[in-house]
Amino acid sequence: MNLLRKSRWIFLALLLSLVPASSFAGVLISVGFAPPVLPVYVQPECPQPGWMWTPGYWAYGDEGYYWVPGAWVPAPYEGALWTPPYWGWSSGIYVFHSGYWGRHVGYYGGVNYGFGYMGIGFAGGEWHGHDFRYNTAVVRVNNVHVRNVYVDRTVVERNTIVNDRHVAYSGGPGGIRHDASSDERNAMREQHMAATSAQQQHMQAARSDRSFYAKNNGGHPQTMAADRPMGYSNNHGAPSNMRPQQPSFNNNHGNVQSGGQNRPQYQNQPSRQPQYQQQPHGNQPQYQQQQHGNQPQAHGNDQQPRNESRPAPQHEQSRPQSQHEEKAPKEHKDH
């Protein structure tokens, strides 16, 4: 047992030594059991131009895994793209890798979150000058307020990693099999910006609400997605004619969730319920996040997902069929 524990510490030290200089310095979260599978939800419409989709994910808090709902958030600067967080399996533990903003989308483990994040890069839209254009082949927009749209299903098919079981982690038993491409590695070396204050407030609102914890909702959180961040009080959002600006990059962009005394500091603001109504499963729109196949079972020894082109995925994720016995997380200081 001691030998195994020492080997994990050595591995984590080697892992941190390979992290790019632009990456974070903070608390590294590791957990001894896998996150639940990604739940099914419908993407709300983009409320206004210049807002970017950030997919929902499982984070880890004081009472285990909890769901951070997907949400539309204002882009922090012109040209900004979001690389979502992900869980990666390494030597028997699951390590959380935080998300960040940058000029290009980096590696997020090949996890297919849908809505443009199909496992590789981002297929949900692109910047054209001062404006962001939305690919309505995979994202939903409010057609009254958002007019910069197009349809490109080829880019979706080309960047899709099939994940019929909706696994929420990369590597390990039953995990996603996708190594970082050269483009993803290059994006990882670029300067990155931390999650915005609106995103942090959103995450903290989920963490503070016990109903979001998998132990209380069985992997079926009541609120799975929102049209704007929970606790977000800035109603004017990002202007459609946003001027180019140089982002204020921060080497601490990887603020990750941890338990106990190492919790990141956030500004608590009154939380309000997002204006989003989950639709009954039988009335899902034709936009579905992913192609289903068979419903997921446990993470065990299921067949591995394949990296292949498939018809345009749709806006839906599957619900978990089993729960995992919890063990205490490990926290390691990143020097």
pLDDT tens digits for range 274-333: 333 333 333 333 333 333 333 333 333 333 444 443 444 444 443 444 344 444 454 444
Positive or negative CA dihedral for 94, 99, 105, 106? Answer: negative
Stated pTM of the model? 0.67
- CA dist., res. 223 & res. 218, Å (int): 13
pLDDT tens digits for range 93-147: 999 999 999 999 999 999 999 999 999 999 999 999 999 999 999 999 998 899 9
More confident of the two residues 288 and 175: 175
pLDDT tens digits for range 188-247: 999 999 999 999 999 999 999 999 999 999 999 999 999 999 988 754 444 433 444 444
- CA dist., res. 104 & res. 293, Å (int): 31
Q: Domain residues of the chain, as ranges?
A: 26-280
Number of neighbours of residue 273 by Cβ within 10 angstroms: 8
Q: Which two tokens stand for residue 141?
A: 């927009």
CB contact set of 289 (below 8 Å; sequence gap of 6+): 40, 41, 43, 113, 114, 115, 313, 314, 315, 316, 317
